[in-house]
A and B are shown apart, each in its own frame.
Chain A
Amino acid sequence: MKYLSPLTRRSGLVPFSADPFQDFEKEFEKLFGGWPSLFEHDGSFFTADNRRSAVANWYENDEAYVARFELPGLKSKDIDLELKDGTLSLKAERKTRNKKEKSEATVSYSQSISLPDGVNEADASASYEDGILSVTIPKAEKAKPRRIAIK
């Protein structure tokens, strides 16, 4: 549905939700809203492909852009983040903690995002907590809103 909605302010600059299946899963859940049995299947039958994009929630304030990536089950050392020439690149590998050897799997996250103009790449920072990678990219001085006094 989001494709039909009016463009948001920054839609040209930053991609929408990176997971195309997210809405679909939601719809599916609505249609077949029964409770899955513990004994029938696991929740991953739509996502047999082990390459994913992390869902990102983007925020903005006067000082910075903030992206919060959903990356559950990682350690910060497993996340490779690079910011170069206006592009933010994210790579991460997650080993699922399954106890059976044969069902152990690796999920790879990989994505590149073009950043808007007017950011201060050198001062970007990132932190990882509770499965969320939070990247803060300060705005360059010229991109900050400025109040102009009227004389």
Chain B
Amino acid sequence: MTLLNILNKKPTTDVAASDSASEVQERFVRPRYRIVDTEDVYTIDVDVPGVSKAGVDITLEDGVLEIQARRSWQTPEGWSSFNRDEAGLVYRLRLAIGDGINDEGIKAEVEDGVLQLTLPKAEALKPRKISVN
């Protein structure tokens, strides 16, 4: 279980790093994901096999949550792939979350190739009990 930092701005350093590393072309794939809606939070499980903590970027801009998860795999020298080479594979998922989420409280962790996001609901969305006098 590792806790991730949620950035509100796009990191620029990563882009530069991948430029210099690369003849490897990035391919974007939409991951499978599941959303569970509970009283206080939305929990999103995103399948990102082959991705470790370092490979995950999460940004939130204009009400759109963007998740990018890069595989760390690099095909070793002397290896050839004979169906698909997974080098450069990036899982990308964008979710429109609008105003319904308390941005500050978003949490993410990666374990066994699953990225689990916890998005606390904004106060306005939570069910409220109103007592009757």
Interface residues of A (CB under 8 A from B): 8-11, 14-17, 25-26, 29, 35-39, 42-44, 47, 56-62, 66, 68, 70-75, 96-100, 103, 130-132
Contact = CB atoms under 8 A, between A and B. Distances in A.
A139 B104 CA distance: 53
B36 interface: yes
B30 A25 contact: yes
A39 B32 contact: no
A58 B50 contact: no
A35 B75 CA distance: 32
Nearest to A60: B80
B64 interface: yes
Interface in B93-116: 93-98, 100-101, 110, 112-114, 116
Given A44-B32, A96-B45, A130 B112 contact: yes
Contact of A26 (B29, B37, B98): B29
A141 to B, nearest CB: 18
A139 B79 CA distance: 14
Given A42-B35, A130-B51, 13 more contacts: A9-B82, A25-B30, A36-B94, A36-B95, A36-B96, A43-B31, A43-B34, A58-B81, A68-B50, A68-B86, A70-B49, A74-B112, A99-B36
Given A8-B83, A35-B95, A73 B113 contact: yes
Contacts of B29: 26
B49 A72 contact: yes
Contacts of B31: 43
Contacts of A25: 30
A11 B83 CA distance: 8
Contact of B83 (A17, A26, A100): A17
B26 interface: no
B61 to A, nearest CB: 12
Contacts of B128: none
Contact of B50 (A66, A70, A99): A70
11 contacts: A14-B83, A26-B29, A26-B30, A35-B96, A37-B98, A38-B65, A38-B101, A42-B33, A73-B113, A130-B52, A131-B51
